[in-house]
Structure 1
Amino acid sequence: MKRSLCVLTIAGSDSGAGAGVQADARTIHALGGYALTAITAVTAQNTRGVKAWRAVGRGLLRAQIEAVLGDFPVAAIKTGLLPGAAAVRVVVEMLKDYSGRRRMPLVIDPVVGSTSGTRFLSVVGLRALKAELLPWATLVTPNWPEAETLSGLRVRSFEDAERAGREILRSGCGAVLVKGGHAPGGRCRDVLVMRDASDDVVVRWFEGARVKTWNTHGTGCVLSAAIAVELAKGRSLTVGIKNARRFLRRALENGKETDWGGGAGPAFAG
């Protein structure tokens, strides 16, 4: 019997469907996976920004994850918006409970706040994320502002991004991909910082021309979800990132002429 390629996304719901669980699910399905979901928060948002949001209770979040992991053959997990220390700790508890059965790749997109300025993760939640969840990660995928928050270092250049990646790696995660979408200029450069078999730090750069488009909402969600699918397929981290970046680029190119409303439309509309 054919085995399904199940990828679990633990993230917030976006009513505008440009980011969060909706963007993750479209990406996972487009790449041949089957998206399982655990909703961490419900948001009211559109292309202009977040209007309101509320976290899902700890018990219901745990029940969602438990239901999925207790039945489906999950091959990889991706996390997005985790609205507070309680949500972070539920994920950690579930990873501990199920790690004895199978240790699966975990991609963490450390969503601290929205691009429009809404803050989701408190100081206490951020501390829990860094100390308790990051050590479980196969890969952490911060953008420049998130890398600053996680590392405590100023990020204003590609050299700063690499330094921040090295600092975040000290948390115990497997690897860090600091995304360069916030950098100025026509080139987009992401830096991967990881450890090799000898425990030496290895740095790899991924570079490409920036796609000129206003429709960039959910780029981080799409990239991290795509990487999770690639890891679920058994790809190496570097190959998975390369393939995921190629997928995101195609999505941005295909959607750059679409008019979605008064603000930034989805990076990938499916």
Structure 2
Amino acid sequence: MPTSSSLLTIAGTDPCGGAGIQVDLQVFRDFGFHGLSAITAVLSQNTRGVQRVDPMPADAVAQQLKSVFEDLRPAGIKIGLLPSKEVVEAVATALKELRETRPCPVVFDPVLASSSKHQLVGPGCVEAMRAHLIPQVDLLTPNLNEAEILLGQKIHTLADFQAAASELLGLGCGAALLKAGHLPAQPSEASGIRDLFADPQGVASLRELPAIPDDVRGTGCQLSSAILACVASPPAAITRAGRIDAIERARAYLNHLLHTRRRNIGGGRPVIVRERPART
């Protein structure tokens, strides 16, 4: 089988191109990868918010993945929105079968609710993620609100935030990136964003990046896709330093776009717009 320069995203759609499958493919292209996709849900949304979520049948998601894996060899997999318990289980089963013969890095951005507070996942989803999917994931990338849901607890302070980074490992993932964008400003951290990386060797505070005043759509999707691309190009050494370096390169890429490419294309939140190929 030929060597692949492709990455796979398993996620939902976004008609205005600011998040989900559409933006994942743009990120893959920025890093020189061919984008593969399996659609888990069709969303009716715009820059103002989400109006409707239509989950794909679990067997249709399973068939998409079967078709890809029978013919192609993705260098890595990013997972986004999984709208139902059945879809979570279908993806987990496909991953288990794939990784028994062709292991590749898996990054999971657990999209659980939109920033406009629209519920995106159905009953039993979070429990299925904990039981079947997260233990197969190399890197879990929740924001503060998603971490609260996954851990079943509130995160109010910087101490809570640091403790939560470690506790995410208890869900079975290989490592976790806990994003600080929704953490209330702390006196010592008021000038920028400091995400936390956690693995079995401990918790590391990542480089401080300058914050922006706007709440931009699709940042979680783009960061997780960029991390996967940085891990796969060239494949990062399976070391703590290699993983942290890949994450820092992805964070710098996204932060550059946030400061230079955010645009208002509709009446709601801004999105990142790529008028030309973006590089850092």
State the TM bucket, normalised to the shorter chain. over 0.9
| Stretch deviating more after TM superposition (22-31 or 180-189) | 180-189
The aligned counterpart of 1:125 is: 125
**Paired AA for residue 39 in structure 2:** I
Encode CA deviations 1:1-32: one digit per residue, 9 max, x unaligned.
98432111000000111000011100011011
Superposition TM-score, scaled by structure 2 size: 0.90
The aligned counterpart of 1:174 is: 174
Q: Whole-Å Cα distance in 1 between the matches of residues 230 and 91 of structure 2?
A: 22
**Paired AA for residue 59 in structure 2:** G
Superposition TM-score, scaled by structure 1 size: 0.93
**Paired AA for residue 187 in structure 1:** G
Q: Whole-Å Cα distance in 1 between the matches of residues 173 and 209 of structure 2?
A: 29
Encode CA deviations 1:133-180: one digit per residue, 9 max, x unaligned.
000010000000011111122212232122112111011110011000
- Describe the SS at the equivalent of 1:25: helix
- Describe the SS at the equivalent of 2:76: strand
Aligned-pair CA distance for 1:208: 2.4
User: CA contact under 8 A between 1:252 and 1:268: conserved in structure 2?
Assistant: no
**Paired AA for residue 253 in structure 2:** F
The aligned counterpart of 1:264 is: 269
Q: Whole-Å Cα distance in 2 between the matches of residues 69 and 213 of structure 1?
A: 42
| Stretch deviating more after TM superposition (222-231 or 206-215) | 206-215
User: CA contact under 8 A between 2:107 and 2:141: conserved in structure 1?
Assistant: yes
Is 1:250 paired with 2:256? yes
Structure 2, unaligned runs of 5 or more: 237-241, 276-280
C-alpha root-mean-square deviation of aligned residues, in Å? 1.7
The aligned counterpart of 2:195 is: 190
Q: Whole-Å Cα distance in 2 between the matches of residues 81 and 107 of structure 1?
A: 12
Cα separation, partners in 2 of 1:4 and 1:215, compared to 1, 3 Å = farther
Q: Whole-Å Cα distance in 1 between the matches of residues 209 and 246 of structure 2?
A: 19
Q: Whole-Å Cα distance in 1 between the matches of residues 134 and 20 of structure 2?
A: 19
Map 1:2-41 onto structure 2 (within 5 A): 3-41=3-41
- Describe the SS at the equivalent of 1:128: helix
Aligned-pair CA distance for 1:64: 0.8
Q: Whole-Å Cα distance in 1 between the matches of residues 19 and 225 of structure 2?
A: 11
Aligned-pair CA distance for 1:266: 1.6
Map 1:88-237 onto structure 2 (within 5 A): 88-183=88-183, 184=185, 185-195=190-200, 201-214=201-214, 216-233=216-233, 234-235=235-236, 236-237=242-243
Alignment identity in percent? 35
**Paired AA for residue 243 in structure 1:** R
Aligned-pair CA distance for 1:35: 0.9
The aligned counterpart of 1:198 is: none
Encode CA deviations 1:193-252: one digit per residue, 9 max, x unaligned.
101xxxxx4111113243324361000000000011112221221111011001101110
Q: Whole-Å Cα distance in 2 between the matches of residues 222 and 154 of structure 1?
A: 25
Q: Whole-Å Cα distance in 1 between the matches of residues 273 and 176 of structure 2?
A: 23
Encode CA deviations 1:13-56: one digit per residue, 9 max, x unaligned.
00111000011100011011111000000011111001112001
| Stretch deviating more after TM superposition (92-101 or 32-41) | 92-101
User: CA contact under 8 A between 1:193 and 1:204: conserved in structure 2?
Assistant: yes
Cα separation, partners in 2 of 1:159 and 1:269, compared to 1, 3 Å = farther
- Describe the SS at the equivalent of 1:170: helix
**Paired AA for residue 268 in structure 2:** G
Structure 1, unaligned runs of 5 or more: 196-200
Q: Whole-Å Cα distance in 2 between the matches of residues 96 and 172 of structure 1?
A: 14
The aligned counterpart of 1:69 is: 69
